[in-house]
Amino acid sequence: MVRRILNWLDHRTGLETAVKEFMLEEIPASSGWPQVFGSMALFFFLLQAVTGLLLSFNYAPTPGEAYKSLRFIMTEVTGGRIIRGLHHWGASMMIVVVALHMAQAVIWGAYKKPREATWMAGVILLLITLGFGLTGYLLPWDNRAYWGTVVATQIAAKSPGIGDYLTRLLASADGIGVVTFARFYALHVMLLPAAMLGMTFLHVVLVRRHGVTPKPGDTAPKKKFYPGQVFQDTVAIFVGFCILMVLAVTVHAPLEKLADPTDISYIPRPEWYFLWLFQMLKLFEGPMEVVGTHIIPGLAVGLLMLLPFIDRKKVTRLSDRKMAVAILLLVATGLGGLTTAAIRSTPAPAAGGGADLDAAAWQTLEPSEMAGLSHFRKQNCMTCHAVGSRGGKLGPDLLQLPRQRSIGELVEFFRNPQQTRPGTNMPPVTLASRQLNDLAAFVLRLDAANAEALLETPKVVAEGAVVYQDNRCNLCHVVNGAGKKLGPSLNGVGRKRTRAWLLEHFVNPQKLSPGSTMPPYRLPEKELANLTGYLLALE
């Protein structure tokens, strides 16, 4: 029955015949384990395509949202952490396999006549693979992604002659924004996959046309691809797949804090397979920098591409190719050495500065800024003002304001807009000076990267910060680095204390912490609830 269906199908589509033809391809008798890496590379590419597709079901490709949706994938979506782990570590597996595949081709002399075009298509495939790594690095939109990509676009900006043009093309003149992000995303999920599929097809067709490169001196009768070589390919793929699965399940794929363009203390590091390049840049300074950023990488790619025309000798016996082997070893040692040096110079991640799945953008605000957010809401600033894509259209977009203003200037403006800027439609903001200060602090803190996240701060938190400010808690306590250190820091108080403990502590501090100098606070119930909510939310 099955036979009849298959025959029917084959008669109509030629599918079975085509598969048989592909599987029964003749290959040299000497091929075996060293020839498995091509199949492995194809497998890992397809696996990246599948896991990437799965991620896209829960991923929002815009700055800010990207981070939150990825955090959602990793913390809430069923199996999300594994899928992201497979995609993240799969990229590294892919690089390793491609490198092994190329090393095999070099050792076997597989780039030599008549296989020059096969080799060159392979070099393009390598560049596409690296392009995937580079563009995908930005997509989590955490600090690592942001700063790593800043470095990459800055290198592009230094390209002799076309630097300015590239900067405009990537829209990366003022840091990484929505346009750069959209371009990287489009490259990563649209253009590069299409290019990869096309080049892979060409590469495989060429391999089939010229046949697998035999070991020198192999004159034995050819064997079939199926089942012997297919079995070896399958075992190799299986081993690689197992390694990847173990990595995905046991090693958390990194997701650092939300990208913060103002975090000048962040030390960007590229992905490990770009580390050698990163380290090499340190060797060239000043006007020589372009040697490290462009000339050497450009020469390397050029040499790789033209390798079949540089090394034209026909002999492919390894012992006759001492030069080729020496160069390969030299390159491998160089890459390894530079990578090791880069890893050694990487500072250990600061305590608490590493993976941080739960801290939201608003958790980094100082109490004054947070209280300002509450005033910002209560004064309905967004009825007139836009904040990015949200809010009204009457007043200017608050993300577009000049950044250099001081709190003092803004407070002056809030008090009496017409006097500061004659002709403006803005009504005066009627708040106490201290509250105006907080409002100004918040407005200055708003930027394109954090706006969406900040505007979603829970109400109780923002209002709690107002209570915090009104009662001058900052005169004794520190939150997010702001305040005096008379009393204990309040960051992370929620991990030590319960809501009930805090509520009771406000009323009678000495009962719960004997010797404390904190005065009792008999606040209205609602204020106490907000304040407690705020404190418990502090990371």
Q: Could you tell me the smallest distance in angstroms from the CB atom of residue 461 to other proteins?
A: 11
Judged by CB under 8 A, does residue 88 bind other proteins?
no
* Residue with the two structure tokens 């091929």: 31
Q: Could you tell me the smallest distance in angstroms from the CB atom of residue 241 to other proteins?
A: 5
Judged by CB under 8 A, does residue 284 bind other proteins?
no
Among 218, 231, 283, 285, indicate the residue that binds other proteins (CB under 8 A): 231
Pair 56, 219: CB distance under 8 Å = no
Name which of residues 240 to 269 contact other proteins (CB under 8 A).
241, 245
DSSP 412-452: HHHH-HHHHSTT--PPPP---HHHHHHHHHHHHH--TTTHH
Per the rule left: phi > 0, alpha: psi between -120 and 50, beta: everything else, 498 is beta
Among 83, 95, 304, 537, indicate the residue that binds other proteins (CB under 8 A): 83
C-alpha distance from residue 477 to each of 423, 471, 517 (Å): 43, 11, 12
Residues 6+ apart with CB under 8 A from 419: none
Among 29, 42, 49, 65, indicate the residue that binds other proteins (CB under 8 A): 65
Judged by CB under 8 A, does residue 26 bind other proteins?
no
Q: Could you tell me the smallest distance in angstroms from the CB atom of residue 58 to other proteins?
A: 8
Residues 6+ apart with CB under 8 A from 164: 157
User: What's the distance, CA 6 to chain centroid?
Assistant: 46
Name which of residues 459 to 518 contact other proteins (CB under 8 A).
459
Kindly tell me which of 109 and 464 has the beta carbon lying closer to other proteins.
464
Kindly tell me which of 150 and 360 has the beta carbon lying closer to other proteins.
360
Residue 6 amino acid letter:
L
Judged by CB under 8 A, does residue 50 bind other proteins?
yes
Per-residue string for binding with other proteins, 437-456, x by CB under 8 A? -------------------x
Kindly tell me which of 230 and 486 has the beta carbon lying closer to other proteins.
230
- β-bridge mates for residue 390, sequence order: 387
Helix residue ranges, H only, 284-432: 289-290, 296-310, 322-344, 367-378, 407-415, 417-420
Kindly tell me which of 53 and 162 has the beta carbon lying closer to other proteins.
53
Given the rule CB under 8 A, which of 50-58, 139-147, 206-214, 465-473 is the region that contacts other proteins?
A: 50-58
Judged by CB under 8 A, does residue 328 bind other proteins?
no
Question: What are the backbone angles phi and psi of residue 56, rounded to the nearest 5°?
Answer: -65, -20
Judged by CB under 8 A, does residue 230 bind other proteins?
yes
Size of the site for other proteins (CB under 8 A): 35
Kindly tell me which of 220 and 267 has the beta carbon lying closer to other proteins.
220
Per the rule left: phi > 0, alpha: psi between -120 and 50, beta: everything else, 391 is left
Given the rule CB under 8 A, which of 33-41, 68-76, 266-274, 309-317 is the region that contacts other proteins?
A: 68-76
Torsional sign, CA 171, 174, 176, 182: negative
- β-bridge mates for residue 479, sequence order: 482
Residues 6+ apart with CB under 8 A from 278: 151, 269, 270, 342
Pair 73, 240: CB distance under 8 Å = no
Judged by CB under 8 A, does residue 130 bind other proteins?
no
Q: Could you tell me the smallest distance in angstroms from the CB atom of residue 405 to other proteins?
A: 28
Q: Could you tell me the smallest distance in angstroms from the CB atom of residue 85 to other proteins?
A: 10
Judged by CB under 8 A, does residue 94 bind other proteins?
no
Given the rule CB under 8 A, which of 64-72, 132-140, 160-168, 481-489 is the region that contacts other proteins?
A: 64-72
Judged by CB under 8 A, does residue 49 bind other proteins?
no
Kindly tell me which of 214 and 240 has the beta carbon lying closer to other proteins.
240
Pair 387, 447: CB distance under 8 Å = no
Among 227, 334, 337, 352, indicate the residue that binds other proteins (CB under 8 A): 227
Taking the C-alpha atoms of residue 258 and residue 260, their distance in angstroms, rounded to an integer, is: 6
Long-range contacts of 229-232 (CB under 8 A, 24+ apart): 229/27, 229/31, 229/32, 229/35, 230/23, 232/32, 232/33, 232/35, 232/36
Q: Could you tell me the smallest distance in angstroms from the CB atom of residue 60 to other proteins?
A: 7
Among 30, 31, 35, 69, indicate the residue that binds other proteins (CB under 8 A): 69
Given the rule CB under 8 A, which of 227-235, 256-264, 267-275, 493-501 is the region that contacts other proteins?
A: 227-235
SS3 475: helix
Pair 370, 462: CB distance under 8 Å = yes
Judged by CB under 8 A, does residue 343 bind other proteins?
no
Among 32, 34, 216, 228, indicate the residue that binds other proteins (CB under 8 A): 228
Judged by CB under 8 A, does residue 60 bind other proteins?
yes
Kindly tell me which of 178 and 401 has the beta carbon lying closer to other proteins.
178
Cis ω for the linkage preceding 297 (within 30 of 0): no
Residue 109 amino acid letter:
G
Judged by CB under 8 A, does residue 355 bind other proteins?
no
Among 6, 8, 13, 20, indicate the residue that binds other proteins (CB under 8 A): 20
Judged by CB under 8 A, does residue 523 bind other proteins?
no
Residues 6+ apart with CB under 8 A from 249: 82, 85
Judged by CB under 8 A, does residue 14 bind other proteins?
no
Judged by CB under 8 A, does residue 521 bind other proteins?
no
Residues lying near other proteins in the complex (CB under 8 A): 20, 23-24, 47, 50, 54, 57-58, 60, 65, 68-69, 71-72, 76-80, 82-83, 226-228, 230-231, 234-235, 237-238, 241, 245, 456, 458-459
